[in-house]
Amino acid sequence: MNYGIELSNQSAIIIGVVAVFYVIVITVFGGYFARFNKNINDFFYSGQRFSWWLPAASMIATGIGSYSYLKYSEQGFNSGMSSTMTYMNDWFILPFFIFGWLPIIYFSRIKSIPEYFERRFNRTARYISLVIIMAYMFFYIGYNLYTIGVAMEGMFGFPQMYSVPLLSIFLGAYVTFGGQTAVIFTDLFQGIMLYIAGGIAIFAGIYALGGLTEWWEWLPISHRLPLVHLTDNPKFNTAGLFWGEALAGSIAFTFMNQGFIMRYLTIKSVDEGRKAGFFNVLITLPLSAVIVGAVGWIGRSLINKQNALGHALEGYNFIEIDNTFHTFIIICWETVHQNPWIFGFIVAALMAALMSTIDTLINACAAIGIYDLYKPLVKPEATDEHYLKAARWASIITTVIGTLLVIWFNQQEGSLMSIHYKGIMIIIPSIVTTIFLGAFWRKFTPTAACVSMVMGSAITMITVWYPSVIDGLARFVSGPENGVYIYLRALFGMCVTGVIGIAISFITQPKKDEDIVGLTIDTIDESMKIYKGGEPNFELGEKILKLKVSLNETLSYNKIQLSPNNMNILKAKDGDLTYIADSRWFLGGLRSEHVKAFENKELKDDEILMSTPTKDSAYLLDGKTVDVEKIF
């Protein structure tokens, strides 16, 4: 495989230098954040201190994997702008997430999805879910490493057995030392990088075509449409995409992807988490759909124009795409006039996509390793220092396992995309349905959860060898009946799991109501009270800016005092949960903390009082002012 482009030795060296330089810069940048990890809560959840925009912006890069550019450009070239469908059909599940799952996990202080399973059901459910979730995440880690390995080998002839371990070392290094904070800040940086590189590729393509109007007019109607044919293409059709991707896939990505869940848990409040959620679905995902797929749409238009004219576009080579999987590489290479520096930057973006997805997953797998295996089973009582060290070892072990999985991926047959979808659509349905029933139906029993997860997974797996069992369901929803079920397999798995779960719930005993407080949607109010340690105060106040910090060592840790006027502006009562942060907005809450506010009649309006331990835990610097806002 040579990716349809011929690189001279000089070009290959330049591209390689740009890419390696980029990887080194990111590793050093990520390593800087090791200083913000005092305990494992900092290491995995950054102390729940960030403003919404920081995790939201960093999710851009997390959501775009190394395979995304290659896969969606190919999809865009073959079926047109409907390649955006998987990124733009997530709104339907948002009510469940924004008002259901997000407050449940946030207020009940869940650290991992398996932990939710133990608290909501029992320990058996925890470890069944752990196996499924780990399979899901390791699958993604291995798959991303494999795709970048394939790309490196194809473009530069650099064998996977060298490129993959080398990349893993760099990745593992900053995740191991910097933890979640490093992941968020590097992903923010990489997100910007992805958009710039994607923007360059799109601009170069549109410029080659002669402008946006030319691009649109040379695009056939079938390639302009936002939604694909209802059933025609067995691998990409609206009916299958709706049930399998908009519902099952989106729920999986939002509800059970430990990496994304952890990102939401780094945010300072549920309200800010909601902002991030809306921003992600409304802005990030549609924009990402354009960034990863547009080169394919441009490629289609360009080839049509070129074929109609009967010759290459002026100033460009005649472009031929024999293997559509190479669309992104070929179109970029040709439209940037084979400039190795610019192309090197685009290849670095592929690296960025890989690193930003995998760093999140490594951190997430390590979190599960610590919270669900090491802490409860190996060493329940240990110091923070010990767990922090263990967390770093967990990151290293995760990286090594992910790297070894590349060997397994290399032995699989079929295209990259079919491997991807087949794997994911088998793994997710049973656990997604169990989470859904657990969170939204109080009567769902522990026995039902365990049995439905195991049986749901087993029956979904069987459909790989006997796909005809899905025929009836496909007929029922007027989906494609072709035996090549990809998305409808997920719907089938969800239905089977749901039916088994509901049936068993009717004949087994649910957990007592008092044992599942805060873990179902109808108990969120109680959960908020427990989270705050008192009655929540929902009255909306205003944020107070630029207060000078004064120290008073008689104040308890995590308590602050404000003037009566400031308490009134905040609409806060004594003991209300507030949030203090360094006034410099661009830090995004890196230097901040949750504290309880109390009134002090002797304080001036431009002053805030706290003890040194509180100041230190917020990482506040001498001479810098702070902003204060009420959480609730």
Partner 1 sequence: MKKSNKILIGALIPIVLIFIYFYPRFLIDWLGKSNPWTSYLYQYTFGLIFFSLGILLILRTKACQLGRGRDSLWFKILIAGFFFFASFHGFWIFMSLAWPVKG
Binding string, residues 12-41; x marks residues near partner 1 by CB under 8 A: ------------------------------
Position of tokens 């800087």?
A: 32
Per CB under 8 A, does 476 bind partner 1? yes
Comparison of 378 and 484: residue with beta carbon closer to partner 1: 484
Binding string, residues 200-239; x marks residues near partner 1 by CB under 8 A: ----------------xxxxxx--xxxxxxxxx-----xx
Q: Which tokens sit at 237?
A: 């059709």
Per CB under 8 A, does 196 bind partner 1? no
Q: Contact region for partner 1 (CB under 8 A) — 99-107, 123-131, 152-160, 170-178?
A: 99-107
3-class state of residue 579 by DSSP? strand
Q: Contact region for partner 1 (CB under 8 A) — 13-21, 349-357, 378-386, 519-527?
A: 519-527
Q: Which tokens sit at 533?
A: 């340690």
**CA–CA distance, 123 with 134 (Å, rounded to integer):** 16
Q: Contact region for partner 1 (CB under 8 A) — 45-53, 288-296, 516-524, 565-573?
A: 516-524
Candidate residues 24, 271, 317, 545; the one interacting with partner 1 per rule CB under 8 A: 271
Tally DSSP H helices, then E strands, for the chain: 26, 6
Comparison of 123 and 475: residue with beta carbon closer to partner 1: 475
Residue 276: CB minimum distance to partner 1, A: 12
Per CB under 8 A, does 509 bind partner 1? no
Q: Which of residues 79-98 bind partner 1 (CB under 8 A)?
A: 81, 88-89, 91-96, 98
Phi, psi values for residue 377, rounded to 5°: -105, -35
CA distances from 260 to 101, 255, 328 (A): 13, 8, 27
Per CB under 8 A, does 192 bind partner 1? no
Per CB under 8 A, does 100 bind partner 1? yes
Residue 295: CB minimum distance to partner 1, A: 19
Comparison of 254 and 360: residue with beta carbon closer to partner 1: 254
CA distances from 445 to 125, 258, 435, 454 (A): 11, 23, 12, 15
Q: Which of residues 273-292 bind partner 1 (CB under 8 A)?
A: 274, 278, 281-282
CA distances from 104 to 47, 494, 521 (A): 18, 22, 7
N residues, the chain: 632
CA distances from 169 to 82, 174, 335 (A): 37, 9, 33
Residues 512, 120 contacting (CB under 8 angstroms): no
3-class state of residue 489 by DSSP? helix
Give the number of other Cβ atoms within 10 Å of residue 430's Cβ: 29
**Burial category of 376 from C-beta neighbours within 10 Å (exposed 0-12, middle 13-18, buried 19 and up):** middle
Q: Which of residues 241-270 bind partner 1 (CB under 8 A)?
A: 242, 246-247
What's the first-to-final CA gap in the chain, in angstroms? 58
Per CB under 8 A, does 442 bind partner 1? yes
Per CB under 8 A, does 478 bind partner 1? yes
Name the residue among 363, 357, 401 with its Cα closest to residue 147. 357
Candidate residues 38, 109, 422, 443; the one interacting with partner 1 per rule CB under 8 A: 443
**CA–CA distance, 627 with 606 (Å, rounded to integer):** 10
Burial 17-44, CB ≥16 within 10 A → b, else e: ebbeebbeebbebbbebbebbeebbbbb
Comparison of 452 and 457: residue with beta carbon closer to partner 1: 452
Binding string, residues 151-190; x marks residues near partner 1 by CB under 8 A: ----------------------------------------
Q: Which of residues 302-321 bind partner 1 (CB under 8 A)?
A: 304-305, 307-308
Residue 102: CB minimum distance to partner 1, A: 10
Site size toward partner 1, by CB under 8 A: 55
Binding site for partner 1 (CB under 8 A): 81, 88-89, 91-96, 98-100, 103, 216-221, 224-232, 238-239, 242, 246-247, 271, 274, 278, 281-282, 304-305, 307-308, 440, 442-443, 476-478, 521-522, 524-525, 538, 540, 632
